């Protein structure tokens, strides 16, 4: 009863904002007496957002308990074309304040029921410089960079709270070697080009071991740590055209986030991604930002990984090999009423594999359906249902058996969510998740989790 009361109380607090809704307010603070408009004309884009969540594990898992967590996000983007007449150049910084506990500590799941859960503290998440050349046909980026803002990115999946609907857990897994993504990012470089009007190619390289959370500016690409290289090719559907990031003639797009709590949750090994920034109440409408696309990507580490030990012959040397993975994703609009093109139904799907001999997880399958504006006569509301299924590699299970631990094959997360726009600066989201085989631990019962999220844009 206490957990249900907390979730209900949080929902009521959010509903109070709807009584103060303004029709043309870009954020809670508005235009700040014209200051924002003046800065925008000079190329300065800044934003402040707050996201708070309450999770309640009602049954199963480790314990039945409620958890509160939140994240504060400061963003600044400078269009150097406007400030210094430096065409195609952009500076971007993203600073985070993370508070609260991880609800997965109660649930015991691997994939992560919350995509904003992270170690507490304040840190720079991104700080990069981007330069477009050749009439915006080629884009170069370098600096502290979150790969999931452009790689393995599914806009439609940004509605859901479970972490696996961001960067796939087959890609984001790892306790030490892992991608540069939320909350541990590192320095890297990215190049992107339009091959045709509907086909693009991008490649990125980052430190194979993202810097320590307490030393986010540290970068070291050595023989021991190596580098992570990722390549992705994207084909846009529905006769859409490729847009190079930062191109002057193109419209702005929503940004995403990934989540990789790799070294923090050592007992569970893989901690996928986060898309919290894509839930801001001022973000573009999903029917506008979902391009309809098919993408295939691949990644590998330049350093070699040891295979899992699967026998008691400890005196034998372990084989070393390249750690790699491949993923395939798609998203598109599947239905739009003729009488209202701003409403519709979207779908997405993703499949990924990783080398099973050196990774904890070797297969991931996920997908979902999202409705926009077609329920309860509310044109700005979103509703969705999704599934995320993660498979443990057989070699890793054999290794755990040697250690005296039995693991199940799969962990599956089922999610239903409803997102209500209260004002132009306040959003309330209700969420239900049912976790099958949490943690792949045969000793844990399936978990049923309720959550409420409040998002404020200033």
pTM metric for this prediction? 0.86
Instruction: Identify the top-confidence range among 80-84, 119-123, 229-233, 246-250.
Output: 229-233
State residue 254's pLDDT score. 34
CA trace torsion 113, 115, 117, 121 (10° rounding)? 180
The answer to whether residue 300 scores a pLDDT higher than 80 is yes
State residue 240's pLDDT score. 65
State residue 258's pLDDT score. 40
Instruction: Identify the top-confidence range among 139-148, 237-246, 278-287.
Output: 139-148
**C-alpha distances in angstroms, 327 versus 167, 232, 278, 280?**
10, 9, 22, 27
Instruction: Identify the top-confidence range among 45-54, 300-309, 312-321.
Output: 45-54
Query: Can you give the CATH number for the domain in which 45 is found?
Result: 2.40.160.180
Annotate 384-413 with three-state secondary structure: EEEEEEEEECHHHHHHHHHCCCCCCCEEEE
Cβ neighbours around 383 below 10 Å, total = 21
CA angle 162-167-171, nearest 5°? 120
Total number of domains in the chain: 1
pLDDT band at 121 (very low <50, low <70, confident <90, very high): very high
Annotate 411-425 with three-state secondary structure: EEEEEEEEEEECCCC
Length of the chain (residues): 458
Region 283-301 average pLDDT: 76
State residue 263's pLDDT score. 33
Instruction: Identify the top-confidence range among 30-34, 73-77, 208-212.
Output: 73-77
HSE (side-chain half, CA atoms, 13 Å) at 218: 11
C-alpha closest to that of 107 among 433, 454, 360, 452: 433
Q: Which of 129-143, 298-312, 379-393 has the lowest mean pLDDT?
A: 298-312
CA distance 369 to 347: 4
The pLDDT mean for the chain works out to: 83
Q: Beta partners for 51?
A: 71, 455
For 356-378, write each residue's pLDDT tens digit. Answer: 988 999 999 999 999 998 777 78
Domain that holds residue 210: 2-457
pLDDT band at 221 (very low <50, low <70, confident <90, very high): low
């Amino acid at each position: 009863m206490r957990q249900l009361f907390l979730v209900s109380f949080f929902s009521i607090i959010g509903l109070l904002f709807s009584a103060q809704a303004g029709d043309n307010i870009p954020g809670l603070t508005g235009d700040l007496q014209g200051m924002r408009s003046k800065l925008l004309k000079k190329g300065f884009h800044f934003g402040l957002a707050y996201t708070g969540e309450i999770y309640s594990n009602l049954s199963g898992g480790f314990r039945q308990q409620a958890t509160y967590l939140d994240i504060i996000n400061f963003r600044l983007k400078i269009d150097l074309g406007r400030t210094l007449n430096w065409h195609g150049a952009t500076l971007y910084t993203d600073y985070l304040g993370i508070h609260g506990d991880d609800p997965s500590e109660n649930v015991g799941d691997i994939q992560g029921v919350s995509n904003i859960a992270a170690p507490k503290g304040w840190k720079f998440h991104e700080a990069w410089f981007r330069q477009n050349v050749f009439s915006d046909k080629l884009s170069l980026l370098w600096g502290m960079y979150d790969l999931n803002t452009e790689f393995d990115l599914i806009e439609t999946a940004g509605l859901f709270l479970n972490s696996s609907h961001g960067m796939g857990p087959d890609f984001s897994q790892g306790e030490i070697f892992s991608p540069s993504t939320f909350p541990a990012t590192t320095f890297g470089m990215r190049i992107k080009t339009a091959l045709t009007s509907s086909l693009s190619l991008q490649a990125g390289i980052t430190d194979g071991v993202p810097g320590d959370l307490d030393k986010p500016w540290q970068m070291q690409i050595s023989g021991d740590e190596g580098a992570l290289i990722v390549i992705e090719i994207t084909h846009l559907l529905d006769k859409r055209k490729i847009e190079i990031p930062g191109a002057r003639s193109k419209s702005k797009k929503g940004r995403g986030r990934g989540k990789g709590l790799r070294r923090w949750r050592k007992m569970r090994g893989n901690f996928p991604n986060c898309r919290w920034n894509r839930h801001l109440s001022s973000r573009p409408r999903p029917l506008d930002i979902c391009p309809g696309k098919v993408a295939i990507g691949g990644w590998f580490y330049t350093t070699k990984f040891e295979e899992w030990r699967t026998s008691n012959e400890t005196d034998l040397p372990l084989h070393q090999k390249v750690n790699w993975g491949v993923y395939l994703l798609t998203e598109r609009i599947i239905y739009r009423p003729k009488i209202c093109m701003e409403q519709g139904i979207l779908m997405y799907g993703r499949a990924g594999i990783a080398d099973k001999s050196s990774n904890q997880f070797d297969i991931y399958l996920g997908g979902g359906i999202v409705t926009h504006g077609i329920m309860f006569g509310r044109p700005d509301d979103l509703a969705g249902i999704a599934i995320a299924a993660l498979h443990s590699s057989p070699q890793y299970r054999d290794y755990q058996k040697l250690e005296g631990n039995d693991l199940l094959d799969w962990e599956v997360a089922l999610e239903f969510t409803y997102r209500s726009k209260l004002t132009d600066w306040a959003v309330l989201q209700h969420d239900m998740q049912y976790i099958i085989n949490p943690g792949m631990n045969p000793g844990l019962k399936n978990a049923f989790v309720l959550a409420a999220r409040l998002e404020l844009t200033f």
